[in-house]
Structure 1
């Protein structure tokens, strides 16, 4: 790049988000499924929160953790999807530098919080199955609140280096980001300094967060399976394990998409850019859409309460 074409600035005033590079002509059509999924995510998670709030029998740790997951999914959706849709519909591509850093921080920290809540839900299932007599005395409202605070602080602190590093670097290439939101990797690639520290920290964060949380979840389910296999009948096995199916589906929805998206963005250099951006979009919208569906259909208390609401309205 010649000096005449080089723009040298420490912090750009704005970034330009391209949306999905190479598929600009299809933005309106691409927006349709994303808009539908966004509406489902909002409706589903607000419904979960409403049902748990209005049904006293659901005021137990399991559903408190589910409410935490619903709030995280709502904020995650709101942090990325409206800007994506404004790009697709109105070509509104500008985003200020500060707003870009804020969006980056929220997206990364919320992903970590979601993982932490799934660990807490695994602990809830462990206590309910392996130590039912101590469940109510161990998982008190105070303990649940402390777990929630710990999840927020852990993720919030681990995510702090991302915007801090981005703010310190100089940008001499371009302020155009080939993405629909301020993805950390897409932003740091615009810097003209050595970004290896950011790459290494991203891998550390991914391995540490998913690795540690995955180990805790695996340990919980190892103990759960041992307890289940000690039950006297096969029907008891299936009934007890059935209480864990929703949680296992939620884990799959988050970790499979998260791991695949992160690895593709880090190492998928030969993969078309529009495919990488689409994968990132799917990662951010699929878990918020699937979680309320999974828990709504698989959890008898929520499904029963939902049916009760509709039948009351009809009568």
Structure 2
């Protein structure tokens, strides 16, 4: 009886601790969201969703279990970004390197991605919130059933403009640049373009998903799972814009809204530092110009005094 009472007491204490922590967490999340909403929100966030397999391994579960949990987090992240005011969200769902995994895991991922696309297609919020869904990557490497679902959801959302969801599947950054260069070379060979027209802006327009509607520059890259690398993800759009990066320890299935808010705070801090640095440079230039003007004024005054002396003599 005494042992039973102790177990009940410990269970109650554990529940109370979790309840108190949850209250503090929610309050911190609320305050942090108010803080970041008072500053500039990044237009385009790109996310490397890493850690599904390692998270499942820690729990002694299958890799498919980790991917399924990660997919649920992905749905919530889309909602959070929309609510906060982000306009473009690009998710790294499947890289070209992922084809090296087992056939069973690759097939399972494609089936899971397909399931989520069909869910987004049928979700009323997709159409109420006017979310445009686009896929970037080499579609020739994808199974027919997945390409059919992609075409279905892209067609249904092609005229939406409030929020853009880009999903990278069979994607590699270098591959993206190569296909853009090949496309431009083909246009030059057929006379549609001249060599003189090729510049950074033209290359940007020929990146995935299609010429003229490519993914724009990235403001913030976020990666979970503890690794501090960008893994060939949107190199042209990210490096060209000198975007902010945020690496966090939680595996993707553990990712919380507070982690997203912290990443945006890092972006805002970096923007503030750049503005401060720019202001300092402008002030420095102004000071140099003022010193130069003062020197010119002293020189002019010296010349005037010299003329006066010559006139007196």
Q: TM-score range by the shorter chain?
A: under 0.3
Which fold has the larger relative contact order, with Cα–Cα distance below 8 Å and residues 6 or more apart in sequence? 1
Select the structure that is richer in strand.
2
Q: Computing the radius of gyration over CA atoms, which structure comes out larger, 1 or 2?
A: 2
TM-score, normalization: structure 2?
Answer: 0.25
TM-score, normalization: structure 1?
Answer: 0.25
